[in-house]
Chain A
Amino acid sequence: MDDAELLRRLLGGDEKAFTELVVRYNATLIRIALYYVNNQASAEDVAQDTWIAVLRGVDKFEGRSSFKTWLFRILVNRARSTGVREHRSISIDPLDHDASVAANRFDEGGAWRAAPEPFTDAIDRAVANEKIIGLVHDAIARLGEPQRAVVTLRDVEGLSTMEVAELLELSVANVRVILHRGRARVRSDVETNLQGGGS
Chain B
Amino acid sequence: MRLTMHPLVCQQAVELMSDYLDGSLSRRDRRRLEKHLAACAHCSTYLDQMRATIAASGAVRPDDLDPQALDELTELFRQFRGDGDGT
Give A residues with C-beta under 8 Å from B: 13, 15, 18-19, 22-23, 26-27, 44, 48, 51-52, 55, 99-101, 103, 106, 109-112, 115-120, 123-124, 126-129, 132-137, 140, 151, 155-158, 161, 176, 179-180, 183-184, 186-187, 190-191
Contact = CB atoms under 8 A, between A and B. Distances in A.
The main secondary structure of chain A at its interface with chain B is helix
Nearest to A135: B56
Contact of A156 (B58, B64, B74, B80): B58
Contact of B9 (A99, A109, A128, A183): A109
B76 A118 contact: no
Contacts of A109: 9
Given A112-B42, A118-B45, A155-B54, A15 B78 contact: yes
Interface in B44-72: 45-46, 48-59, 61, 63-65, 69-70, 72
A110 to B, nearest CB: 3
A155 B50 CA distance: 12
7 contacts: A22-B65, A27-B65, A110-B9, A116-B46, A124-B55, A126-B55, A180-B15
Nearest to A180: B18
Contacts of B63: 23, 27
A96 to B, nearest CB: 14
Contacts of B41: 115
Contacts of A118: 45, 48-49, 52
A110 B23 CA distance: 24
Nearest to B11: A110
A55 to B, nearest CB: 5
Given A115-B42, A137-B57, 7 more contacts: A15-B74, A19-B73, A55-B77, A115-B45, A127-B58, A179-B18, A180-B18
A22 B70 contact: yes
A134 B64 CA distance: 11
B18 A186 contact: no
A108 to B, nearest CB: 10
A111 B73 contact: no
- A-B pairs, 10 with minimum CB distance: A110-B9, A155-B57, A126-B52, A110-B11, A180-B18, A136-B56, A112-B42, A119-B52, A106-B11, A126-B55
B27 interface: no
A134 B19 contact: no
Contact of B55 (A103, A123, A137): A123
Contacts of A190: 49, 53
Nearest to A21: B73
Contacts of A179: 18, 22
